[in-house]
Chain A
Amino acid sequence: MQALYSQLVAGISLGSILLLAALGLALTFGQMGVINMAHGEFIMAGSYTAFVTQRVIADAGISLLLAIPLGFLVGGLMGVLLEATLIRRMYHRPLDTLLVTWGVSLILQQAARDIFGAPNVDVRAPSWLSGSVNIGITQVPAARLFILMLAAAAVAGLSLVLKATPLGRRIRGVVQNRDLAETVGISTRSTDRLTFFIGSGLAGIAGVALTLLGSTGPTLGTSYIVDAFLVVVVGGIGQIKGSVIAAFGLGLLQATFEYSTTASIAKVMVFVVIVVFLQIRPQGIFSVRTRSLA
C-alpha cells in the first residue's frame, strides 16, 4: 500500500514537471501550428537565469523566488526575439519553421556552452526545499511539492488570461482561425508576439523549477522537448485542459510502468500507449472545433 501511495505521488510529480515543460509549448504550438524546437532551449535559458540570479544573490531561497519572474522575462524576451526575427516570416511555411527553430536550438545550446562552459553548473536548492514533507499517507520531497504548486499556479494563471482577458480572447481567436481573426480586425501581429512572450516565458519558469531536480547544462532542454511534444500532441493542439490531462496521464503511466518493470521498458510502453491512442484519436484528447473549411 505504501508503495502504491509513493508511486502515485511520483506519477503526479512527474506529471507536473511534464505539464510545466509543455504548457508554453501547447500555447505556441496552437498558434504556429508547428512545434517550436527551440522551446527546450528556452527552458535551459530559465535554468541559467536561476544560476545567474544565485550568483548575484547568494541566499538560495530569495534567489529562487526572484528567478521565477526573471526566468519568465528572459524566456519570454527570447521568444519574442525569435518570433520577430524568424518565425513571423514563415507562418505559412510550417516545415521551414520546424527546421529553422531546430537550427536555433542548436545555436542556443552552443551559445550556452560558450558563455557558461561545457560542464554542468550547480544551482543550490534552498534549505526549506530539501528533505521531505509528510502529507499523511506518504513522504513527498519538498522540491517536488513546490513544482506541483508552481505548475498549478501556471495553469491557473494561463487559464485566467485565456478566459477572462481581451488578450486571451484574441489568442483563442487566432488559434481557431487566423484568417477569420484578421478579417474581423484583430491585430494578429501583436497577438502573435504576446502569445510567444507568454509561451516562452512559461518555458523559462519551467527551467527555473527544473534546477531543483536535475542538472543545469547546455543540453538540459533536449531531455524535455520530446516529452513536452508528446504531452501537447496527446492533449490536443491549442488546448490547456488537454495538456493538463495528458501530462498527468503520461506521468502516472510512466510511474506505474516503471515500478512494475524498468525505466527503459516503461518509456517504450508509454510510447506504445501514445501510438495506439493517436491511432484512435489522431486529434488528441481535445480538439478545437471550428467551422472553417480549411
Chain B
Amino acid sequence: MNARRTRKRLLGAVAVVMVAGLVSTGCGSRVGASGPGSSSGRSCVDTSGNSVKIGFLNSLSGTMAISEKTVHDSLLLAADQINSSGGVLGKQLQIISEDGASEPTTFAEKAGKLISSDCVAAVFGGWTSASRKAMLPVFEGANSLLFYPVQYEGLEASPNIFYTGATTNQQIVPALDYLKQKGVKSLFLVGSDYVFPRTANKEIKAYANANGIEIKGEEYAPLGYTDFSTIVNKVKAAGAGAVFNTLNGDSNVAFFKEYRNAGLSPATMPVVSVSIAEEEIGGIGLDNVVGQLTAWNYYQTIDSRRNAAFVQAFKTKYGQNRVTSDPMEAAYTSLFLWKEMVGKAKSFKADDIRKAADGVSYDAPEGKVTVNGENHHIAKTALIGKVGPDGLIHAEWSSGAPIQPDPFLKTYGWAKGLTG
C-alpha cells in the first residue's frame, strides 16, 4: 500500500514541477511594478575616471539564447570599434554582461543589478516583448536608459527606452502595402500565442478591413509548438493569396517543414515572415524557406560601403561562416546612437541624453537612421526581402526613404480604435 501511495505522491510532484516549468516560461511577464532599482531615483554612475561602464543584457542561456547571443556578439563588436576609435567623450567603455536567461523576471532582476550595483550609464539588450515589459518599470523607476534592438508590436513609448528596431509602421504596414501592390486579395494569419502576434494581427485585420483584403483565417500556436499538421491543413483548405507569419522561434522550423511537405510553395501561396532573419534560415533548412518573403529594415546583402565594412568586421571577429541580421544591426547601431547622443549632450546623464536625443542621426549599415525625440523610436527604411538560394535574403522592394516611426499608428486612418 505504501509504495502505491508514494508513487501517487510522486506523480503529483512531477506534475507540480512540470506545471511550474510551464508557468515560468509561459507567463514570466507578471512582474511587480516596483523593480529592484526603483528605490533609488538617484544615479550612481561614476564618470570621474577614464572609463565608463555600460551593461549588455541578453539571454545567453535558455530558449532565446539562439537569437540573443548574436545580438550580444554585435554589441561587443560595436564596443570594440568605439573603444579603438577613442571611446565616448574620451572614456573607454567597460562592458558588464549579464545573462537574462530567457526569463522576463531575470531580465528585470539583472537590469536592477546593472543599474544600482554596477552603476552602468546605459543598458543595451532585451528581445522578447515580455522581457522589455518586465524591464520597463525598472528603468523608469531608476531613471536609467535601455536601448532595445528588436522589432516589436508598437503601442509603447517609454521615456527611458530607446527603440532601435522597427515599430509596426516600419515593418508590418509596409509588408501589407507590398502584398496589396502585388495584388494579394486574401490573407491567412499564423502566429505564436503571445502579445506580439496578437497585437500585430489586430493591426493587420484593421488594415485588411480598410483595404478590401479578406482574412481567410487566423491561427495561433503556443510558443515552442512543434506539430503544425492541423494548422497547415487549415491554411491549405482556406486557399488564401498569402500567409502572414508572426510565429516566433523554433515553431518556424516545424511550420515551414510541414508547409512544404503539404505541397504548398512560394509560387502558389507565399509566406511573409517578420521573425525570420539570416540567422534562422540555416536552422529551418534553406530548402524549406527558399523563395519565401520577409519584412525587415536590414539585410546582409545591402549593397553599400558602410554595410560591407560592418559585415567584414563581424566576420573577421567571429568567423567567415557567420551572418548578420536585422536585430544584430539594430543593436550595433544602438550603441553608436547612444555614443552620438552622449556626444551631443556632453553628459552621461539620462535626462541630458533624453533632451539631446531628437534629431541625432547615424550612418548605420542599414542606411541613415534618425532618432525621434518624441517617441524614442528611429526613422528606418523598410525592406521586403526574398530568401535566395544562397541562404541570404535579398531586398525585393524598398520604401525608398526612411519611414518616420509612429508606434501608436496615429497617422493611419484605419488604425483608429486600435490604440484606445
Contact = CB atoms under 8 A, between A and B. Distances in A.
B18 A215 contact: no
B279 interface: yes
B223 to A, nearest CB: 10
B325 to A, nearest CB: 11
Contacts of A7: 230, 233
A255 B283 contact: no
13 contacts: A13-B229, A110-B61, A120-B282, A120-B284, A122-B284, A143-B261, A212-B257, A213-B257, A214-B253, A215-B226, A217-B66, A263-B222, A264-B220
Interface residues of A, number: 59
Interface string A1-29: 01100110110011001000000000000
Interface in B61-90: 61, 63, 65-66, 69
B226 A267 contact: no
B302 interface: no
Contact of A213 (B221, B254, B284): B254
B6 interface: yes
A87 to B, nearest CB: 15
Contacts of A222: 224
Given A215-B283, A223-B250, A263 B224 contact: no
Nearest to B59: A118
Given A13-B229, A98-B10, A263 B261 contact: no
B99 interface: no
B360 to A, nearest CB: 33
Given A6-B233, A263-B225, A217 B283 contact: yes
Interface of A: 2-3, 6-7, 9-10, 13-14, 17, 33-35, 94-95, 98, 102, 110, 113, 118-125, 130-132, 139, 141-144, 212-217, 219, 222-224, 226, 229, 233, 237, 254-255, 258-259, 262-264, 267, 282, 293-294
A139 B219 contact: no
Contacts of B11: 233
Contact of A95 (B10, B224, B262): B10
Interface of B: 1-3, 6-8, 10-11, 13-14, 17-18, 22, 61, 63, 65-66, 69, 193, 219-222, 224-227, 229-231, 233-234, 237, 250, 252-254, 257-258, 260-263, 279-280, 282-287
A130 B257 CA distance: 9
Nearest to B64: A118
Contact of B229 (A10, A217, A267): A10
A291 B340 CA distance: 79
Contacts of A213: 226-227, 254, 257-258
B283 A120 contact: yes
A262 B197 CA distance: 15
Top 9 A-B residue pairs of the complex, sorted by shortest distance between their CB atoms: A120-B283, A215-B253, A141-B261, A10-B229, A214-B254, A215-B250, A122-B285, A258-B230, A214-B226
Given A102-B17, A124-B287, A226-B22, A294 B63 contact: no
Contact of B66 (A118, A139, A224, A267): A118
Most chain A CB within 10 A, of B10, B14, B69, B262, is at B14
Contacts of B282: 119-122
A111 to B, nearest CB: 13
